[in-house]
């Protein structure tokens, strides 16, 4: 809670309109368009919804191919599978778990339509290379920016580079609304259709702007709008974005400094922020030497009242994917899946608690 969430929820209720696309939705959308220069922003009920809208806007058809990372949440690819796409997985970079842009071109075929990337932990993928490939082969780029609010590639905000981007305001993110998401449309050609898809396939938005006398069914779509209660909560958070980010960066830096000696001794690997990216303090992770060691750390911490968790089971090894595809090997993805450990990380985490976690990890490695 950043301060005014309940005040704004009350204001939304008292306004008499708590369905979607009200005053707080418009305030949230304007916030992102003005602060980050996004061409068009539409609030959605979830990041998954935003990705599904992007898949529709990319006109995915049965048999189209979508290149994607395997080290990501299932929504990143599920949105395209639902439209009939075949997913082609690309490995991560060896030094950080974002897609390895050097491996993308060899995966492109005449059936490829989209490159969807995930800015894991808010760390930017190499967007200049990815956008150049998209231009060369006539592909769409969709940024899964669920974890990437207030993060940048060089001096460009993540979510503002690809043709489309999807953000999350799930309660696990930097800025939250319980559930909630946002679609960013950076290509003018798709703004009008995006509004139609958002409004269940109708031109209702035009009607409320007075541009047409009545609205009707004109395209496919669904109920992607969040309620004004969700938007009201979110706007209170956005007003405190800088304060929230400042505190999260303090926690991140404390973890890094406290665990750096272990990295210097070769006992553990800490997050790498490449020169083209920045740190938005979405999460803090360490990379153990092996799955066995990671499980031992989890048990060690759990015995001391600390919950640390891993992230993710690779999608290319999932039962759903293997049902229709041959097994592939993605070495770096599999290593991160086996060895990466996320530490407790949230705005209210105190310095004392952070130091306790750091101490317990040092105890584990130093016996």
pLDDT of residue 237: 97
The 3 state secondary structure assigned to the chain is CCCCHHHHHHHHHHCCCCCCCCHHHHHHHHHHHHHHCCCEEEEECCHHHHHHHHHHHCCCCCCCEEEEECCCCCHHHHHHHCCCCEEEEECECCCCCCECHHHCHHHCCCCEEEEEEECHHHCCCCHHHHHHHHHHHCCEEEEECCCCCCCEECCEECCCCCCEEEEECCCCCCCCCCCCEEEEECCHHHHHHHHHHHECCECHHHHHCCCCCCCCECCCCCECCCCHHHHHHHHHHHCCHHHHHHHHHHHHHHHHHHHHHHHHCCCCECCCCCCCCCCCCCCCEEECCCHHHHHHHHHHHHCCCCCCECCCCCHHHCHHHHCCCCCCCCHHHHHHHHHEEECCCCCCCCHHHHHHHHHHHHHHHHC
The model's pTM: 0.96
- pLDDT in single tens digits along all 367 residues of the chain: 888 999 999 999 999 999 999 999 999 999 999 999 999 999 999 999 999 999 999 999 999 999 999 999 999 999 999 999 999 999 999 999 999 999 999 999 999 999 999 999 999 999 999 999 999 999 999 999 999 999 999 999 999 999 999 999 999 999 999 999 999 999 999 999 999 999 999 998 888 888 989 999 999 999 999 999 999 999 999 999 999 999 999 999 999 999 999 999 999 999 999 999 999 999 999 999 999 999 999 999 999 999 999 989 999 999 999 999 999 999 999 999 999 999 999 999 999 999 999 999 999 999 8
- Span 199-255, pLDDT tens digits: 999 998 888 888 989 999 999 999 999 999 999 999 999 999 999 999 999 999 999
pLDDT of residue 21: 92
Domains annotated on the chain, with CATH? 5-238 (3.40.640.10), 241-366 (3.90.1150.10)
């Amino acid at each position: 809670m950043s301060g005014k969430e309940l005040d704004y929820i009350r204001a939304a209720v008292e306004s008499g309109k708590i369905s979607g696309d009200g005053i707080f939705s418009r305030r949230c959308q304007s916030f992102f368009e003005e602060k980050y220069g996004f061409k068009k922003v539409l609030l959605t009920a979830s990041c998954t919804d935003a990705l599904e809208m992007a898949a529709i806007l990319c006109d995915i058809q049965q048999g189209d191919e979508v290149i994607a990372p395997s080290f990501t949440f299932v929504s990143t690819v599920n949105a395209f599978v639902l439209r009939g796409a075949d997913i082609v997985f690309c490995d991560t970079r060896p030094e950080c778990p974002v897609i390895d842009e050097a491996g993308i071109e060899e995966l492109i075929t005449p059936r490829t339509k989209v490159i969807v990337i995930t800015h894991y932990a808010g760390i930017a993928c190499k967007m200049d290379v990815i956008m150049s490939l998209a231009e060369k082969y006539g592909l769409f780029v969709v940024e899964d920016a669920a974890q990437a609010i207030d993060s940048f590639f060089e001096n460009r905000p993540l979510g503002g580079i690809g043709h489309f981007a999807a953000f999350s305001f799930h309660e696990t993110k930097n800025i939250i609304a319980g559930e909630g998401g946002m679609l960013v449309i950076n290509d003018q050609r798709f703004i009008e259709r995006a509004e139609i898809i958002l409004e269940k396939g109708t031109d209702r938005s035009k009607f409320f702007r007075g541009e047409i006398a009545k609205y009707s069914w004109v395209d496919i779509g669904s109920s992607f709008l969040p309620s004004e209660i969700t938007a009201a909560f979110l706007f209170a958070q956005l007003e405190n974005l800088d304060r929230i980010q400042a505190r999260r960066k303090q926690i991140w830096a404390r973890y890094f400094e406290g665990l750096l000696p272990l990295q210097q001794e070769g006992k553990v690997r800490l997050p790498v922020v490449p020169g083209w990216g920045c740190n938005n303090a979405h999460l803090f992770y360490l990379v153990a030497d092996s799955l066995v060691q990671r499980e031992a750390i989890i048990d060690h911490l759990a015995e001391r009242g600390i919950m640390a968790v891993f992230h993710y089971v690779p999608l290319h090894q999932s039962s759903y994917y293997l049902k229709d595809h041959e097994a592939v090997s993605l070495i770096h993805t599999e290593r991160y899946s086996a060895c990466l450990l996320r530490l407790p990380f949230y705005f209210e985490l105190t310095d004392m608690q952070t130091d306790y976690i750091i101490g317990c990890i040092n105890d584990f490695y130093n016996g």
